[in-house]
Amino acid sequence: MLGQTIVRTKDVKRIYTMGNVTVEALRGINIEIRAGEYLSIMGPSGSGKSTFFNMVGGLDKPTEGKVYIDEVDVAQLDAYELAWLRCRKVGYIFQSFNLIPVMTALENVTLPMVFAGLNNDEARDKGMELLKQVGLDKRHSHKPFEMSGGQQQRVAIARALANDPAIVLADEPTGNLDLKTGTEIIDILKRLNKERNVTIISATHDMKMLKASDRIVWIRDGRVDKIEKSEDIVIQEGSVDGEH
Amino acid sequence: MPTSDSQLLEGNKIRIGKQIVLPFSKAVEISLRGVRVRFWRSMITMSGIILAIAFMVSVWVGGAVLDGLRSPEVRERKVISAVLGEPDKLVYEAADGTGKTVELKRERVVRNTVAFILNSKGYDTGAASGEEGAQGADGRSAGPGGAAPAAASVQSRGSKDLWLVVLSLCVAVVGIVNAMLMSVTERFREIGTMKCLGALDSFIVKLFLLESGFLGGIGTAIGVAIGLLLTAVSSLIGFWAVRGEIFSAISWSSVLWGLGITLLTGTALSVIGTIYPAIVAARMEPVAAMRQEA
């Protein structure tokens, strides 16, 4: 099921300079993520988890080292190519959903298609198809504020898949949701991961995510602390059930 | 150029494309949607320009009314002057054909030239006004002031008005810059999200400029309407005695021309005021979308 390497990092370091203070958020991370993988990035806040996550998604460039997405060095891309990459190669899911408030569910889902140059009819058909996949085709004309958090996040998932990306980046996708809704969202992500063979990379604190993940990368102090495989996760399942 | 290099160097199979620049109509479509939804909120942003434009229109049209009344054809026209108190009533009674009263009252009807009435209200009318004076039946003779005001004072009044108009427009633009910067901060997550979804910087700039263009256009139109209304009311009150002449006296082409200029000015200024905020918005990093604080 797992294909070729889709994201590869080589000695990635990221140093922030704030006035006279330099903060080393990442201190050399090497990792390979393969196509079709469901990967969770875990770590306490301040561990460099978010920085690493942004790096992998082409939202930030490393101070040292290289990030390859689909074997292309992200640092070499100009603004147009980066926009293209974000539009077609990567789908983003945010903790706070980040739907465009003035647009309906369908318009939100079709926005990346518009950016990709699809015409309105194609975009509408594809958008409805995606909304159906997340079970919201009946609510296509609703604005974000007319929907619950779980529904908004499902629209956001549909939007992330708009241009059939190879990678979906999910930043704490269940962070603003209750337990039940969070589980639904994880189930949808897992299902899409299997059905569409899309790589899912999520940064999370949520232990429920562990069950769905193929691998978990623990980040601590800007380094990879450990990488766990799905087999190891089964052991922790008791604690996941314990949350119910 | 860097693409092809890196692609050759890495020897990858997948090509990275260049993001297309969206057709202008798409930007128009999306910005119109934003305008529709945020309309009333945006009208508050635009209230500065609405008021400034209303002021500009009232100065322009008010000037046109005065110029029209001062023009050589109009200022010599005789109108019933208000000097003796209630000329309206007198005229009416004179016209209804009841014998003796008409004789009596007719004497009290005073006709003066437009120029005379304007002068009596303290407006400059130019050289010819003085001698015409009053032709009142009771022998009242006109000639307030006598000395014809110089054209220079007309000029200075015009330039003072212009100065005030320019000043108020500047204040309005500063207000727009400020309000738009606030709006950019309010919408940073939306902008970051759009950039994550593949929006180019130029698209964000276009979006903001178009939105402010539409809003500026609408705001200016509202300002024009308010300005016209105010001018109509103030002209009627100020020139009640010569109200019959106002409509024909005004040079409508000049008024229309002025309104056209005003519409352009208002729209252009609101777009100009948005340039800097739009650039700030476009420079925003897509990571901004990830931030949690709302």
- B87 SS3 class: helix
Please check the confidence at residue A242 and state whether its pLDDT lies above 50. no
Out of B3, B199, B285, whose CB is closest to A81? B3
Chain B interface, best mutation among A14, A73, A205, by max B CB count within 10 A: A73
Q: Give the pLDDT of residue B134.
A: 39
Q: Give the pLDDT of residue A2.
A: 64
Q: Give the pLDDT of residue A104.
A: 93
Give the whole-angstrom CA distance, residue B54 versus residue B224. 5
Please check the confidence at residue B24 and state whether its pLDDT lies above 80. yes
Between chains, do A102 and B193 touch, taking CB under 8 Å as contact? no
Mean pLDDT across B186-195: 89
Using CA coordinates, name the residue in chain B closest to A92: B196
Q: Give the pLDDT of residue B78.
A: 77
Overall fold of domain A5-242: Rossmann fold (3.40.50)
Q: ipTM of the assembly?
A: 0.87
Between chains, do A83 and B17 touch, taking CB under 8 Å as contact? no
pLDDT band at A212 (very low <50, low <70, confident <90, very high): confident
pLDDT tens digits, one per residue of A147-189: 999 999 999 999 999 999 999 999 889 988 999 999 999 999 9
pLDDT band at B143 (very low <50, low <70, confident <90, very high): very low
Q: Give the least confident one: A67-81, A226-240, B71-85, B180-194.
A: A226-240
Please check the confidence at residue A243 and state whether its pLDDT lies above 70. no
Q: Is B202 on the interface with A (CB under 8 A)?
A: no
pLDDT tens digits, one per residue of B72-114: 777 777 776 654 545 445 555 555 565 544 444 444 566 777 7
Give the whole-angstrom CA distance, residue B80 versus residue B136. 9
Mean pLDDT across B219-243: 89
pLDDT band at B150 (very low <50, low <70, confident <90, very high): very low
Using CA coordinates, name the residue in chain B closest to A84: B19
Domain ranges of chain A: 5-242
- Residues of chain A with pLDDT > 90, as a percent, come to 58
Please check the confidence at residue B179 and state whether its pLDDT lies above 70. yes
Higher-confidence residue of A222 and B81: namely A222
Using CA coordinates, name the residue in chain A closest to B31: A102
Please check the confidence at residue A83 and state whether its pLDDT lies above 70. yes
Using CA coordinates, name the residue in chain A closest to B191: A100
Question: A144: which chain B residues are within 8 Å (Cβ-Cβ)?
Answer: none
Contact criterion met (CB below 8 Å) for B245 and B70: no
Between chains, do B34 and A111 touch, taking CB under 8 Å as contact? no
